[in-house]
Structure 1
Amino acid sequence: MSEPIPLSRVVEVSRAVGATRSRTAKTELVAQVLRETPPAQVRTVASWLAGALPQGRVGVGWRSLADLPAPAATPSLTVGEVDDTLSALAGTTSRTTRTQLLADLFGRAGEDEQDYLRRLLLGEVRQGSLEGVLLAAGALAADVPEPTLRRAAMLAGDLPLAVEIALTSGEEVRLEPGRAIQPMLAGSAAEIEEVPQLVAGTPVVLDTKVDGIRVQVHKDPAGRVRVYTRSLDDITERVPEVVEVAEALDATTLVLDGEAIALHPDGRARPFQETGARTASSRSVEALREATPLTTFVFDVLHVDGRDLLDEPYATRREVLLELVPESSRVPGLLTSDQGEARRFFDEAVASGHEGVVVKDLDAPYAAGRRGSAWTKVKPRHTLDLVVLAVEWGSGRRRGLLSNIHLGAKGEDGELVMVGKTFKGMADETLAWQTERFLALETGREGHVVHVDPVQVVEIAVDGVQTSRRYPGGVALRFARVLRYREDKTAEQADTIETVRALG
């Protein structure tokens, strides 16, 4: 029997990984501890080193960790003991039991271990390229090619599980109806005319980009239907309309990819928040279904009646889709090689209240978990000139640099009002420039947030806005990213809150 691995060993590796910028060194450190880990704890250690808990949420927040015992003089915790405690936390609704479990756990942990456990429970482990390093380290430890492990992770829906399989059994991971896989993702283009296949006159399919809940629908050999989100959360009980669509299809086993969305009676899309409420609201499903019925739009078939279609070209999968799924449950699409037709279809999709289109290569397989040019999303791009109110220090590869910027628009009284944050769209040169710039504008600090004199205007691209109580402006920016800093504009020339709200 393998010796239990102490928690202190994982903490030691995590600190060492966070202290080096070398990806090779990070990979070797993680690979070594994976080799040392007993088979029963491989998935747990892999999950922790990727900054996550195998149990998911365990009901522990800042308040639960506010009053903890002093660190143990002689730490004694093993990975298995911590994992058992976390499972117990996830399985209890008793505040008293949770408090006792946390006290016992932290009372046996040393100072460094307490710090690590606190960050792990709060989802704040920062050690640089978490999943990327785990993928490389798992492949190195198991002596398998990275692409092989990446594919296994996509089909298992979980990288730590794939690492465990590679290190313990070496079995090939296959698509199994009933077990969620990572969804294929799309690249982006600013305009239809920029999509390479259309530029070359190659036939493609344009699917309407529906702004709903991404759903992966499984029907297993026992006839049970399960519905998973893009993040692989099981939402079956919250979306009976999706289940009914799958049950009505003439197939024994199925894996479908699609969207569920709330529509107005005229077919226009309702605001995303109304759709999202179907999985977030505490109201009964019956009440939600009556108030916000969902329409299911399927756009891909990954498996049907024992036949895996992942590696088949999209043209083949589309043939199966058209034969299997009725038009009323398929996302509207167009097969064309003509830019003019593509532009008209795009304009019609946007006019109908949808986000845009996804252009799909007919020769491409389903690249689970990957983002590339085989699928290209095209959406109208809105830009705003906003003012930087504060900046947060970065982590990982951005450690030592100011990264996440707080954005403000001109309020009705002329004062700046916060409408969102973003750390996207920043090249290394931009990060270096803004660190120097905003430290020079610093007016004070609050934890990891640097407040600045609100004079710097930045041009931001957004996909839209949505109502939100999170920010004083009453809205939140959707998919905000930096385009450029505007040295030619003053804060007085920034966009107003009315302009921002008009994009909702």
Structure 2
Amino acid sequence: MGFVRFTDIAATSAAVAATGGRKAKIELLAGALRQLEPDEIAAGSAFLAGELRQRQTGVGYAGLRNRPAPAAEPSLTVAGVDAAIAEIATVAGTGSQARRRELLGALFGAATADEQRLLVGLFGGELRQGAQAGLLAEAIAVAAQVPVTAVRRALLLSGDLKQVAVAALAGGSAALAEIRLTVGIPLTPMLAQSAPDVGAALLATGAPAVVDTKLDGIRIQVHRSGDEVAVFTRSLDEITERLPEVVASVRALPLREVVLDGEAMALDERGRPRPFQETSSRAATRAGGKGGAGRRSGADGKGAEGPSLVPYFFDLLHLDGTDLLDEPGRVRWAALADALPAELIVGRTTVETEEQAAAVFAAAVGAGQEGVVVKAPDAPYDVGRRGSAWVKVKPRHTLDLVVLAVEWGHGRRRGWLSNLHLGARDPESGGFVMLGKTFKGLTDELLRWQTERFKELAVEDNGWVVRVRPEQVVEIAFDGVQTSPRYPGGVALRFARVLRYREDKTAAEADTIDAVRAIGGTL
């Protein structure tokens, strides 16, 4: 086993948080990665990314309050801390609560004050930030002396930062190249940037272009090998047993092996989308994570709760042994049309003019959908990228923001968590920039839901404001962006109101402060 001290990881984590420049952060992380022994890379890279290697530990915020006094001198190693947390995570059965407290107390009792601070952040989830993971990907490339593009592609194909770190640092570019699309293992989906109208979208993609209906549903990625079918969310959580109707649809296809990208949504009796909250509740995975967490129903679909969801697919990434990621869109979409019946494919139109695209947009909105996605037919499937090849257009300004805190309501809303503090992601610092507050658009149902949700995420409550872990994404509609000396980003949203909670998105996928400023033009 290696002997890298946990205190060195804690010091690096603190230094990264205190450092402003991206390059300096990457150098700090790379220096720490270089020190890790091969059997410490998985755990050490996870700690540096602000994560635990274990998805579930059974340790909640309440269990972190009563901690023993910190140790005077550091004695913990990376491998030792990882082994202790692994033991805590496997405790089960009679007496498990007392045993978990005992093990947790022993770990914290051996930790210095700085080490305890890092452990609290790791267990409490306060350090989990997509920007940190993005920084670490670049740091892995620097430490392993491999191209950052190779690290990013391997990360997006595997969805596992720890696996990529081990491959790069132990095996270099050759090991990274071995990480390929594997049926059954989700890959980070291609994303779309935003445009204010279809004209601007066509300027980005070029013409002719393909215009897809942007459905008011949840993003799904479906993998099939033989009779085995797995369904994943955009954040790579497995929800197979929650969506038996999707499983049945894909299992019925005359195919041996396939990876599909699409959406699923609930429809009313007229064929129009039902409220997004009904659809997203079927895929909620807060109770767990990757590898089948959040399941409620059996493999045969019995016991599935909520409305039936209908799948619609818009891309084909793998078919019967052949990867299609690097093929142009027109090739992938032609293969999709050959492989699937028309009723399982999203509405799709080829356009050459802005007028044609505008007509498709109007029809989509008129049918109750979110808008359209304009796509360049010659572009490959850029795993994890939000480039100009796909551009979404909605009929209003919206942003996916992160809730940073919530205020207790008063009057009719007394006893409910009401006023939301909204933050945009800051890629440079790895944190979030507050843009303002809103309590508008909240129904009684949403108030009840968010009160329970934010109690789960609470890290501090002074009786007025409840500070929460920055994990919950909410879609906000607004009328514009204005300058504001009141908030640290210098901008604020005008007439912000809640549209819906995005249980299908993680905080790492929230919109950035740069996107907010772009909407504001020269602000």
Classify the TM-score, shorter chain. 0.7 to 0.9
Distance 1:199 1:294, change over 3 A: closer
Q: 2:436 aligns with which of 397, 405, 416?
A: 405
Once residues 281 and 442 of structure 2 are traced to their aligned partners in structure 1, the CA distance between those partners, rounded to angstroms, is: 29
Q: Residue in 1 aligned with 2:211?
A: 206
Q: Residue in 2 aligned with 1:502?
A: none
Distance 1:198 1:111, change over 3 A: closer
Q: TM-score, length-normalised on structure 1?
A: 0.78
Q: Residue in 1 aligned with 2:134?
A: 132
Q: 1:381 aligns with which of 386, 393, 396?
A: 396
SS in 1 for 2:311: strand
Q: 1:348 aligns with which of 335, 348, 363?
A: 363
Cα deviation for residue 461 of structure 1 reads 6.3
Q: Residue in 1 aligned with 2:54?
A: 55
Q: Residue in 1 aligned with 2:463?
A: none
Q: Is the counterpart of residue 240 in structure 1 residue 219 in structure 2?
A: no
Q: Residue in 2 aligned with 1:338?
A: 353
Q: Is the counterpart of residue 301 in structure 1 residue 332 in structure 2?
A: no
Cα deviation for residue 279 of structure 1 reads 2.5
Q: Which has the larger radius of gyration?
A: 1
Q: Residue in 2 aligned with 1:445?
A: none
Letter in 2 for 1:29: L
Q: Which runs of 5+ in 2 are unaligned?
A: 285-293, 400-406, 408-418, 444-449, 452-472, 503-509
Identity across aligned pairs (percent)? 41
Once residues 195 and 499 of structure 2 are traced to their aligned partners in structure 1, the CA distance between those partners, rounded to angstroms, is: 20
Q: Is the counterpart of residue 230 in structure 1 residue 234 in structure 2?
A: yes
Are the equivalent residues in 1 in contact too, given 2:130–2:430 (CA < 8 A)?
no
Q: Kindly report which structure 2 residues correspond to 1:129-278, keeping only aligned pairs within 5 A, or say none.
A: 129-170=131-172, 171=175, 172=177, 173-197=179-203, 202-220=207-225, 223-278=227-282
Are the equivalent residues in 2 in contact too, given 1:135–1:146 (CA < 8 A)?
yes
Once residues 269 and 423 of structure 1 are traced to their aligned partners in structure 2, the CA distance between those partners, rounded to angstroms, is: 19
How many residues align? The count is: 445
- Quote the RMSD (CA, aligned, Å): 3.8
Once residues 184 and 80 of structure 1 are traced to their aligned partners in structure 2, the CA distance between those partners, rounded to angstroms, is: 35
Moved more, 97-106 or 262-271: 97-106
Cα deviation for residue 261 of structure 1 reads 0.9
Cα deviation for residue 89 of structure 1 reads 3.4
Q: TM-score, length-normalised on structure 2?
A: 0.76
Q: 2:500 aligns with which of 445, 463, 466?
A: 466
Structure 1 residues 269-312: Cα deviation after superposition (integer angstroms, max 9, x where no partner)? 01111111113388657576474111011110000111110000
Once residues 338 and 431 of structure 2 are traced to their aligned partners in structure 1, the CA distance between those partners, rounded to angstroms, is: 55
Question: Which structure has the higher relative contact order (CA within 8 Å, separation 6+)?
Answer: 2
Structure 1 residues 439-460: Cα deviation after superposition (integer angstroms, max 9, x where no partner)? xxxxxxxxxxxxxxxxx98515
Q: Which runs of 5+ in 1 are unaligned?
A: 413-417, 439-455, 469-477, 486-504
Structure 1 residues 21-55: Cα deviation after superposition (integer angstroms, max 9, x where no partner)? 23222212211211111112212221221222222
Q: Kindly report which structure 2 residues correspond to 1:54-133, keeping only aligned pairs within 5 A, or say none.
A: 54-93=53-92, 94-125=96-127, 129-133=131-135
Structure 1 residues 217-270: Cα deviation after superposition (integer angstroms, max 9, x where no partner)? 1123x5421111111001111111111122122222211111111111211001
Once residues 77 and 97 of structure 1 are traced to their aligned partners in structure 2, the CA distance between those partners, rounded to angstroms, is: 20
Cα deviation for residue 398 of structure 1 reads 6.2
Q: Residue in 2 aligned with 1:444?
A: none
Once residues 212 and 359 of structure 2 are traced to their aligned partners in structure 1, the CA distance between those partners, rounded to angstroms, is: 13
Once residues 147 and 295 of structure 2 are traced to their aligned partners in structure 1, the CA distance between those partners, rounded to angstroms, is: 45
Once residues 102 and 12 of structure 1 are traced to their aligned partners in structure 2, the CA distance between those partners, rounded to angstroms, is: 21
